[in-house]
A = this chain, B = another copy of it.
Amino acid sequence: MCVLGAGVIGLSIAWQLAESGCRVTLFDPNPACGATHAAAGMLAPVSESGYGETEVLGLGLESLRRWPRFAADLEQAAEQPVGLRRHGTILVAHDADDARELSRFAELTARQGLPTELLTGRAARALEPALSPRTVAGLEVPGDHSVDTRALTRALLVTTARAGVVLHRSPAVPVVRDGRAVAVTRAGDGSHHPCDVVVVAAGADSSLLPGLPPGTVPPVRPVKGQILRLRGAAGLVRLTVRARVAGEQVYLVPRAGGELVVGATTEDIGPDTRITVGGVHDLLRAATTVVPEVRELELAEACARLRPSSADNLPLIGATSVSGLLVATGHYRGGILMAPATAAAVADLVHGRACSQAAAACSPARFLPRPVAQEATR
């Protein structure tokens, strides 16, 4: 089988399929250099959850449960760390409005049975002493963790190769004949790779692939994110720290080795990957507001990439109207978190097993026009 796209989703799928005995060929002109390259690596379904996005939360929670095993297997197979940190997350408030919002959010999570704990400003600072003295309240989300995305993709590249996955560093497009995916054509040499299954995991490019009947992959919108990597933060913060500053969400994700990732803007402006003054300024302002000592850190990198967003923010995982053509994209801000569940779901589908309820909700079929008869009986 062929997988198009070697971001965290494509790599995880390729690994899982190869482990289950499939012969897998992977195509990507720049493996792990798309949205995955920018990702902060938060495994944070609870702190990222939006009101009403029950299905996104469901898939996130399922995938979070899979993460410890996924990381352990990967580290063993690749013989290198992936930097899973299980210290939890703290959301912080800088004024009374923020604090009320945290309190409402705590109630919401409690009703959903998700563990969170409301803290005074003093208690928040006791837990994370680098927080600004202006912190007036906190909400601890002990189950929301993080992973070092770049360590993760390094490990995935090693382990897929060891599992026999052949990686071609070039783009490729599916070949459809009689409503069935039968091969992949590699750009450049135009070589033909016959296969019985094609998995499209090409992020924001997934719905732009040539050669597919229109509407095969429901629209995936690029949502720009700018993110920063700081250095010299060893010991500065232990938890992932999140806040809203001047109306903008910001998070600070510590890594082993003293890196601190500060992210991310959310810009619905089309396929633009420029690093902008406004984006970087707002992230730096927010980060220094939340943790003032961040001012002293080295600004090592600014990066911008396009997140793949579906029309309803839920990923697109599953079969399409083209037989043998599966899709796994639209993970928006949750690609790293949702990779284990997505890979498991694709493997289930390939091997004819039912996938989990959370993954089943992600079927692209939800965007297919309903048959008229069914429409009439609603």
- Interface of A with B (CB < 8 Å)? 230, 232, 274-278, 280-281, 284-285, 287-288, 294-300, 302
Contact present for A277 and B295 (CB under 8 Å): yes
A277 and B294 in contact, given A284-B284, A285-B285 (Cβ under 8 angstroms): yes
Question: Closest chain B residue to A287 by CB distance?
Answer: B277
Provide the residues of chain B in CB contact with A277, threshold 8 Å: 230, 284, 287-288, 294-299
A276 and B302 in contact, given A281-B285, A284-B281 (Cβ under 8 angstroms): no
18 A-B pairs (CB sep. < 8 Å): A230-B277, A275-B300, A276-B295, A276-B296, A276-B297, A277-B284, A277-B296, A277-B297, A277-B298, A278-B288, A278-B296, A280-B280, A280-B284, A281-B281, A281-B284, A281-B285, A285-B285, A299-B302
Bound-complex Cα distance A1 to B294 (A): 49
Provide the residues of chain B in CB contact with A295, threshold 8 Å: 276-278, 281
CB-CB nearest 4 A-B residue pairs: A278-B295, A281-B284, A274-B298, A275-B299
Bound-complex Cα distance A295 to B288 (A): 19
Provide the residues of chain B in CB contact with A300, threshold 8 Å: 275
Residue of A280, A288, A300 with highest tally of chain B CB at under 10 A = A280
Bound-complex Cα distance A277 to B287 (A): 9
> From residue A290, how far is it (CB to closest CB) to chain B in Å?
12
Q: How many copies does the complex hold?
A: 2
Bound-complex Cα distance A299 to B232 (A): 22
Neighbour of A298 across the interface among B275, B281, B294, B299, CB < 8 A: B275
Provide the residues of chain B in CB contact with A287, threshold 8 Å: 277
> From residue A292, how far is it (CB to closest CB) to chain B in Å?
10
Question: Closest chain B residue to A301 by CB distance?
Answer: B275
Bound-complex Cα distance A276 to B277 (A): 15
Provide the residues of chain B in CB contact with A288, threshold 8 Å: 277-278, 281
> From residue A252, how far is it (CB to closest CB) to chain B in Å?
11
Bound-complex Cα distance A297 to B296 (A): 25
Bound-complex Cα distance A317 to B37 (A): 50
> From residue A274, how far is it (CB to closest CB) to chain B in Å?
4
Provide the residues of chain B in CB contact with A274, threshold 8 Å: 232, 298
Provide the residues of chain B in CB contact with A281, threshold 8 Å: 281, 284-285, 288, 295
Provide the residues of chain B in CB contact with A299, threshold 8 Å: 275-277, 280, 302
Interface contacts beyond A276-B298, A299-B302: sample of 20 additional A-B pairs, CB < 8 Å, sorted by A: A230-B277, A232-B274, A275-B298, A276-B296, A276-B297, A276-B299, A277-B287, A277-B294, A277-B295, A277-B296, A277-B297, A277-B298, A277-B299, A278-B295, A281-B281, A281-B284, A281-B285, A281-B288, A281-B295, A284-B284
Provide the residues of chain B in CB contact with A296, threshold 8 Å: 276-278
Question: Closest chain B residue to A228 by CB distance?
Answer: B277
> From residue A323, how far is it (CB to closest CB) to chain B in Å?
45
Bound-complex Cα distance A296 to B277 (A): 6
Provide the residues of chain B in CB contact with A302, threshold 8 Å: 299
Question: Closest chain B residue to A284 by CB distance?
Answer: B281
Bound-complex Cα distance A287 to B278 (A): 10
> From residue A267, how far is it (CB to closest CB) to chain B in Å?
12
Bound-complex Cα distance A232 to B276 (A): 10
Bound-complex Cα distance A230 to B274 (A): 11
